[in-house]
């Protein structure tokens, strides 16, 4: 994905020097990442997972300077969030929605305080509607590469998709979808709540695709290889894929983010159409979702 020379966002809060430097591996916290990806990988209702992560022992290192790779990723993330600002500002204008209030992206290391609880590297990137901020520990991108085998370099569309998905939850918040869904989730049983969660996550995937559509339209920055890598990422974060990887089988009643096929479908639909009116995940039946 070509972002060289593009502006960096001013809506970035860098807390990395304040963090604990959590080390994430396949054991301990790394196991929570794989399990957490089943229920949380990219946003949604983070309370339960934050509570689970906060109760675990975390191996830390203090005072480590950011590596050149981390700084490269920080610049990349800032350029991606800037792109989402440009794209969604224009979309809101074109569709007569009003002014687009952009979220703040918080870069942190290890753990940080949020309006939704203590955020940790164990839960991956997430959006908190309580403070309208996207939280990102850059070490998650290494987890994507090493533990999930997601393809792409440090400027790949696959990594940008992670950020754009979280901004998709911000769009849901601004349009009132997120609050309505959470109210319904709190008033029903867990199985039905999970179905609402899936629809929220697939809608965020769709909005990430819409962002990619306009990013490419405005800047001609995405090629076929980029798109293949982003779709590969969507496939590898499907609930069925992750559950089979972590426990050897899939439990559809516990899905909270959607299957690999669903995540790829909705991201591609957003990318192909660029039409925010097609965000119909809550109108679809289980069979057509």
Pair of tokens at residue 164: 């754009």
CA-CA distance, 219 to 17, in Å (whole number)?
33
Q: Is 176 exposed, middle or buried (0-12, 13-18, 19+ CB in 10 A)?
A: exposed
**Segment holding 270, helix H or strand E:** helix 260-273
Angle at 11 between CA 40 and CA 182, to 5 degrees: 35
Q: How many CB atoms lie within 10 A of CB 101?
A: 13
CA-CA distance, 34 to 106, in Å (whole number)?
22
Q: How many CB atoms lie within 10 A of CB 196?
A: 22
CA-CA distance, 115 to 153, in Å (whole number)?
32
CB 134 within 8 A of CB 170: yes
CA-CA distance, 250 to 204, in Å (whole number)?
22
Distance between alpha carbon 166 and the CA centroid of its chain, in Å? 4
Candidates 193, 208, 116; CA nearest to 126 is 116
CA-CA distance, 209 to 202, in Å (whole number)?
10
CA-CA distance, 130 to 204, in Å (whole number)?
18
CB 19 within 8 A of CB 110: yes
Pair of tokens at residue 254: 């516990």
Candidates 138, 144, 143, 134; CA nearest to 164 is 134
Q: What is the pLDDT of residue 220?
A: 96
Half-sphere exposure of 6 (CA within 13 A, CB side): 23
CA-CA distance, 44 to 233, in Å (whole number)?
18
CA-CA distance, 207 to 213, in Å (whole number)?
10
Q: What is the pLDDT of residue 165?
A: 97
CB 284 within 8 A of CB 262: no
Q: What is the pLDDT of residue 132?
A: 97
Per-residue pLDDT of the chain (289 residues; tens, 9 = 90+): 999 999 999 999 999 987 554 333 222 223 334 444 434 444 444 444 444 444 433 333 344 667 888 899 999 999 999 999 999 999 999 999 999 999 999 999 999 999 999 988 888 899 999 999 999 999 999 888 888 888 778 889 999 999 999 999 999 999 999 999 999 999 999 999 999 999 999 999 999 999 999 999 999 999 999 999 999 999 988 988 888 988 998 999 999 999 999 999 999 999 999 999 999 999 999 999 9
Q: What is the pLDDT of residue 84?
A: 98
pTM of this structure: 0.86
Q: How many CB atoms lie within 10 A of CB 99?
A: 8
Q: What is the pLDDT of residue 143?
A: 85
Dihedral angle over CA of 264, 78, 169, 222, nearest 10: -30
């Amino acid at each position: 994905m070509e972002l060289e020379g593009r502006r960096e966002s001013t809506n970035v809060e860098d807390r990395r020097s304040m963090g604990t430097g959590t080390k994430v591996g396949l054991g301990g916290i790394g196991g929570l990442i794989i399990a957490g990806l089943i229920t949380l990988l990219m946003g949604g209702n983070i309370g339960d997972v934050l509570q689970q992560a906060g109760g675990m022992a975390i191996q830390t290192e203090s005072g480590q300077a950011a590596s050149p790779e981390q700084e490269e990723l920080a610049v990349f993330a800032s350029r991606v969030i800037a792109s989402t600002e440009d794209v969604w500002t224009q979309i809101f204008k074109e569709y007569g929605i009003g002014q687009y209030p952009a979220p703040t992206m918080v870069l942190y290391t290890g753990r940080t305080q949020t309006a939704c609880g203590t955020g940790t590297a164990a839960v991956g990137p997430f959006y908190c509607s309580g403070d309208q901020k996207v939280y990102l520990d850059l070490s998650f991108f290494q987890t994507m590469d090493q533990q999930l085998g997601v393809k792409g370099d440090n400027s790949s569309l696959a990594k940008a998709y992670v950020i754009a998905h979280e901004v998709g939850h911000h769009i849901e918040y601004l349009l009132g979808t997120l609050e309505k869904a959470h109210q319904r989730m709190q008033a029903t049983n867990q199985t039905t709540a999970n179905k609402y969660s899936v629809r929220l996550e697939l809608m965020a995937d769709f909005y990430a695709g819409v962002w990619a559509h306009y990013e490419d339209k405005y800047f001609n920055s995405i090629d076929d290889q980029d798109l293949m890598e982003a779709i590969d990422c969507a496939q590898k974060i499907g609930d069925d894929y992750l559950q089979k990887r972590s426990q050897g089988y899939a439990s559809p009643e516990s899905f909270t983010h959607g299957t690999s096929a669903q995540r790829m479908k909705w991201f591609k639909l957003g990318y192909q159409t660029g039409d925010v009116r097609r965000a119909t995940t809550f109108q679809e039946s289980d069979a057509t979702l």
